[in-house]
Amino acid sequence: TIDRALDAAQIVRTHVMRPTWHFVAASDVHWMLDLTADRVQQKLAYAFRFYELDSATRVRATRAIERAVGGGAHLTRNELGADLARSGIAVAGVRLALITIHAEVERVLCSGCQRDGQSTYALLAARAPKAKRLPRDEALAELVRRYFGSHGPATIRDFVWWSGLTAADAKRGLEMTRAKPASIDGHTYWACDAPRAAGAAGPAVSLLPRFDEYLVAYRDLDAVPRARAALGETVVAGGQVAGTWSASARGGDTVVDVRPLRRFTERERGALAAAAARYARFLERRVEVRVASRAASARR
């Protein structure tokens, strides 16, 4: 599970690419931060000014954090906040979040082990001591290759949105990877060849969570029906958005309400039941699926 991988430091949670949390393979975290940290800092510049977190304060706070998690300590956000307050650094409101983000981007802090169901922070150097470093061009080419190999065909705008890097970076990376362009409806899309495991197509129907990478990794969602709603819990059938879904508790069971955007085939209904069964195994409880009529979906 993700929790076990986090505890074992196989993956770490940090702010990379955009000012939002990402789960990253520990072996990749340093070269990815080397590539994207400056852009994340630029996007946070206004917030730092607004909350009066100047460079000197951020440096002082990061040093205090480094001392606090030194020696293998894993601290919750509240514990970090208390330690910073004892050092004379104000942490009220959003300031603590911005301070910890800055420490992550500065390669000092990352996720630690779960403790009593709570997330903790730990020293990045201790959690990812063998993470590789890459020259900038090599790192850029690797990120471009991974994105367009797993998300292509995609546009340069999509990559810029997903990575937080510039259009010039995207073009440079595409040149180095020799990605293949294609013109579709007047737009240029790019793709990189990527190895695919046997059976990689997966199930015919998937119940995707809110803000899943399948959709949120693209800037242009014009081709997605009701794109705003599709960024919620999404039903994907045959590789296309086919509806939305939500879950609610009923006694000891969970009810999954599906709102289709079109009529499901019999095969898709069977695959939807299989997807619900996987969800039930994850929740370790019974799941009932209710599929609304298309008319009910349209009224929503």
Q: Is the pLDDT of residue 75 over 70?
A: yes
Same domain for 22 and 109? yes
The number of distinct structural domains making up the chain is 3
Average pLDDT, stretch 101-121?
A: 96
Higher pLDDT, 298 or 200: 200
pTM for this prediction: 0.86
The model's confidence at residue 299, banded by pLDDT at 50, 70 and 90, is very low
In a domain, 168, yes or no: yes
**pLDDT (tens digit per residue) in 167-210:** 999 999 999 998 889 998 899 999 987 655 555 455 589 999 98
Q: Three-state DSSP class for 193?
A: coil
Among the three residues 127, 146, 171, which one is the final residue of a domain in this structure? 127
- The answer to whether residue 178 sits within a structural domain is yes
122 and 149 share one domain: no
CA distances from 27 to 9, 11, 32, 33, 127 (A): 10, 8, 10, 12, 10
Pair (41, 71) in one structural domain? yes
CATH number at residue 150: 1.10.10
* CATH number, position 106: 1.10.10.10
Rounded mean pLDDT of the chain? 90
Q: Does 118 lie in the same domain as 6?
A: yes
Confidence (pLDDT) at 222 = 75
Which is it for the CA torsion 132, 134, 138, 143, positive or negative? positive
Q: Is residue 197 part of a domain?
A: no
Q: Is residue 95 part of a domain?
A: yes
Q: Report yes or no on 198 lying in a domain.
A: no
Per-residue confidence band for 3, with pLDDT thresholds at 50, 70 and 90: confident
Rounded mean pLDDT, 201-230: 77
4-7 long-range contacts (CB < 8 A, ≥24 apart) are 6/111, 6/113, 6/114, 7/113, 7/114
CATH number at residue 247: 3.30.300
* Overall size of the chain counted in residues: 300
Residues 152 and 60 in one domain: no
Residue 106 belongs to some domain of the structure: yes
65 within 8 A of 111, measured Cβ to Cβ: no
Amino acid 300: pLDDT: 37
What pLDDT is recorded for position 72? 92
| Tokens, residue 86 | 């004892």
Residue 216 has pLDDT above 70, yes or no: yes
Give the 3-state DSSP-derived string for 107-142, with helices as H, strands as E and coil as C.
CCEEECCCECCECCEEEHHHHCCCCCCCCHHHHHHH
- Is residue 35 domain-shared with residue 122, that is, in the same domain? yes
Regarding whether 45 and 98 lie in a shared domain, the answer is yes
Range of the domain at 246: 205-299
The pLDDT, as a whole number, for residue 252 is 86
| Whole-number pLDDT of residue 296 | 42
Residues 115 and 30 in one domain: yes
pLDDT of residue 203: 58
What are the pLDDT digits (tens) for 242-276? 999 999 988 889 999 999 988 999 999 999 999 99
| Cα atoms in the 13 Å half-sphere on the side-chain side of 229 | 17
Instruction: Give the per-residue pLDDT at 51.
Output: 97
Question: Does residue 196 form part of some domain?
Answer: no
Residue 200 falls inside a structural domain: no
d(CA 98, CA 19): 10
The dihedral built from the CA positions of residue 125, 126, 129 and 134, taken in this order, carries a sign that is negative
| Whole-number Cα distances in Å, 238 to 16, 83, 134, 242, 271 | 31, 51, 37, 9, 10
Burial call 169-194: b when 16+ CB within 10 Å, e when fewer: bbebbbeebebeeeeeeeeebbbbee
Tens-place pLDDT, residues 113-144: 999 989 999 999 999 998 999 999 999 999 99
Q: Are residues 12 and 115 in the same domain?
A: yes
Report CA 10 to chain centroid distance, whole Å: 16
**pLDDT value of position 201:** 55
Last residue of a domain, one of 99, 127, 155: 127
Q: What are the structure tokens assigned to 113, written together?
A: 């082990």
Query: In this structure, are 10 and 108 located in the same domain?
Result: yes
Q: Which of 76, 109, 127 is the last residue of a domain?
A: 127
Burial category of 56 from C-beta neighbours within 10 Å (exposed 0-12, middle 13-18, buried 19 and up): exposed
pLDDT of residue 274: 94
**CA-CA distances (angstroms) from residue 113 to 63, 99, 119?**
21, 20, 7
Q: Which of 291, 260, 285, 261 is closest to 273 using CA atoms?
A: 291
- Same domain? For 241 and 185 the reply is no
Same domain, 71 and 115: yes
How many Å from the N-terminal Cα to the C-terminal Cα in the chain? 35
Is residue 295 very low, low, confident or very high in pLDDT (cuts 50, 70, 90)?
A: very low
